[in-house]
Amino acid sequence: MNQRRVLVVEDEPTIAQSVAARLRGEGYLVDIAADGPSAVSAAAAYPPDIVVLDVMLPGFDGLEVCRRIQAERPVPVLMVTARGDETDMLIGLGVGADDYLTKPFSMRELAARVAVLLRRVDRAASTVVPRQLGPLRINAAERRVFLEESEVHLTPTEFDLLSSLASRPRAVHSREQLLSTVWGWSDAFASRTVDSHIKSLRRKIGAELIRTVHGVGYALEIPR
């Protein structure tokens, strides 16, 4: 397989260097950016397979970096936060990061999260054919979604979530099922992570296409 490229966005040089060293040791190509604007230009110049993104940055913050990078093309983002409550807050905002890691973290934990996220995206890409579901067309091979012929730009997690719901349209998918198919893991933030990504997915494809089944989960509502 081609060498995967990781963009590490971190303004604390010692953290940036140790993260980069660990990831290079794992065989990745690593670019480092130390502030918001240079992160966005680095992502444009050397398109990464994944971004490890610190939230608090000079220039503009990680949320803005995430928005700008994701607007160009879908790329998985592992967001690094200073505290657990910051992670809670970000999940609540539905910023479009695919996973979160709280400082301080071990280099081993970081490398594991990066590997899991990349595997998830690869696995989803290797499945199936374009499907037309009501107003939605889902092309899994290209990871593209069209709503009434206009392309909708989804983050990798939003795409995986939609594909998962679309695998059995109209059926109810519990949060636990969605977590295990999309994320492949679960923890205390788990069900709220699902809710948060559903919220941003609804914003993009239209709230009426996703039905909430109170206390259980979600279903993709395709008009018959």
172 lines the binding site for Ca ion (CB under 5 A): no
Binds Ca ion (CB under 5 A): choice among 15, 29, 56, 116:
56
Residue with smaller CB distance to Ca ion, 11 or 26: 11
86 lines the binding site for Ca ion (CB under 5 A): no
**By beta-carbon distance, which residue lies closest to Ca ion?**
56
11 lines the binding site for Ca ion (CB under 5 A): yes
Residue with smaller CB distance to Ca ion, 113 or 197: 113
Q: Would you state the structure tokens that stand for residue 51, as one six-digit string?
A: 């971004």
Report how far residue 137's alpha carbon sits from residue 143's, in angstroms, rounded to the nearest whole number: 11
Residue with smaller CB distance to Ca ion, 79 or 124: 79
**Residue 196: other Cβ atoms inside 10 A:** 20
Binds Ca ion (CB under 5 A): choice among 31, 49, 54, 160:
54
Single out the residue of 221, 224, 197 nearest to residue 211, CA to CA. 221
**Residue 137: other Cβ atoms inside 10 A:** 17
Which residue's entry shows tokens 């592992």?
78
Report how far residue 56's alpha carbon sits from residue 87's, in angstroms, rounded to the nearest whole number: 12
Question: Among the candidate windows 50-58, 109-117, 159-167, 181-189, which touches Ca ion by CB under 5 A?
Answer: 50-58
- Which residues of the shown chain bind Ca ion in the complex (CB under 5 A)? 11, 54, 56
